[in-house]
Amino acid sequence: MIPVKGFSGQKVAVLGLGRSGLAAARALHAGKAEPVCWDDNPAARELAEAEGFVCTDLCRHGSFDDIATLIVSPGIPHLYPDPNPIVAAALEAGVPVDNDIGLFFRSFAGPEWNNYDSPPRVIAVTGSNGKSTTAALIHHILTEAGREAQLAGNIGRGVLDIDPGGDGSVVVLELSSYQTELARALTPDVAVFTNLSPDHLDRHAGMGGYFAAKRRLFAEGGPDRAVIGIDEKEGAFLAGQLAEGRADDRVIRVSVARKLTGPGWQVFARKGFLSEYRKGRQAGSIDLRGITGLPGAHNHQNACSAYAACRALGLAPRVIEDALHSYPGLPHRSQIIAEVGGITYVNDSKATNVDSALKALSAFKKVRWVCGGLEKEGGVAALNAATDQVVKAYVIGREAANFAMQLKADALVCTTMSEAVEQAMKDAQPGETVLLAPAAASFDQYDNFEQRGEDFVAEVRQRLLE
């Protein structure tokens, strides 16, 4: 646990008592603050009270009269589309609003660091797609290289649940836009921006607000090194803002769309080969084509970002290459679950938006595509760019008929995962891939994308055993 500093003897309100909220309450208590907790869900309050925390309805008049700060869980809106009433009350009372990420960055360093040969480092990863894989891959590479490393944030453990940093250790954080937009402290040593595509637009009032939330990690944090995917205009703009000139190697530019040249520091992938150039000379090269845990161009982008972040910490190219080959991949992200009778079965339930689904489809040929769910803003017409890869689509979700009507590919309305998997497996031929890449949120039928992916895996495995 990371005890929170700066609030000893003060009351700190905690709104939202899920994983991050409860961890924040524990860490505040460990730092001798007095947590005052609230969640609209009675079951969540019961869990907090069972740990000895006081739960007080923060909507009551005068609730913030003696509160030093309000800590808000990521899923609770504080500005768009409308601020939560409790957040609005805190702001009206002049109470600062923060989150667990802000508490972590203000509390992680300790006096014991003065005795370390090498202080702990923090790598923070954000972006629209691939940030979980990139963060997990960085953690895997560091661990395989013998470095003490912890994975936290939007993946792994809560940031305040991790152990204090040891001599030469590294914390790898995956940070969503919900986390970066509110944190009052953001000071990573290395910050990674994977890419940007439309997502969570209602929460951020459009693409400008969404990009601004991601950009805070770099503008507020001032990392020693920034790894920036520049294949979208926002990434190219961000890299340009951070660099003092063409040769400024504090910015490492990443691309999977083109070869990068110039006197700076670049990492790019073309035709399955990763290349690193620095000061106009090649410094490393890796053949990514045979790495089973990283299929497709989108995973090659993740590999480039992870490679660059680890190079920024001084790891050798060959050490990184060896670790890439042993990376098993993450569940629900281009996860190969079976290869039977010449047919490959892939679970990419994390492909919850159009851009991530397009990238998943581009990684395979002759796809029997299980898709659908709760559509996000902007519709799904852009998916038709991948029509050539799709043999047939099998559409699930309460909006399955409308989803299917927007596709140019041959589409079958199945509604349920069970029917979609049954039909796809019945139709599939050797050389084809049955791929779950929904291009939509899961909340119309499932609690989360993990549950949806687990259902797909269970349906496939059950039928393979029949």
Q: Cα torsion for 90, 92, 95, 97, to the nearest 10°? A: 60
127 is in an annotated binding site: yes
Coil/strand/helix, residue 38: strand
Q: Residues 6 or more apart from 318 whose CB is under 8 A from it?
A: none
Give the tokens for residue 385.
Answer: 């760019």
Q: CA angle 74-213-149, nearest 5°? A: 65
Nearest C-alpha neighbor of 128 from the set 223, 226, 234:
234
Instruction: Tell me if 131 is assigned to a ligand binding site.
Output: yes
> Is 408 labelled as part of a ligand binding site?
no
Residue type, 391: V
Region for 270 from its dihedrals, namely left if φ exceeds 0, alpha if ψ lies in -120 to 50, beta otherwise = beta
Q: Are the beta carbons of 359 and 427 closer than 8 angstroms?
A: no
SS3 of residue 440 by DSSP: coil
**Residue 133 assigned to a binding site:** yes
Residues 6+ away with beta carbon under 8 Å from 130 = 194, 195, 298, 299, 301, 302, 305
Give the number of other Cβ atoms within 10 Å of residue 233's Cβ.
Answer: 10
The two three-digit tokens of residue 162, written as one number = 């991790």
Q: With contact defined as beta carbons under 8 Å apart, do 329 and 294 qualify? A: yes
Q: Determine the distance from the C-alpha atom of residue 251 to the mean position of all C-alpha atoms in its chain, rounded to a whole number.
A: 21
Q: Is the distance from CB of 313 to CB of 112 less than 8 angstroms?
A: no
Q: Per the structure block, which two tokens stand in for 54?
A: 């006081």
> What are the start-end ranges of the H helices in 334-431?
354-362, 400-405, 417-427
Feature table: binding site:
127-133
Feature table: binding site for ATP:
127-133
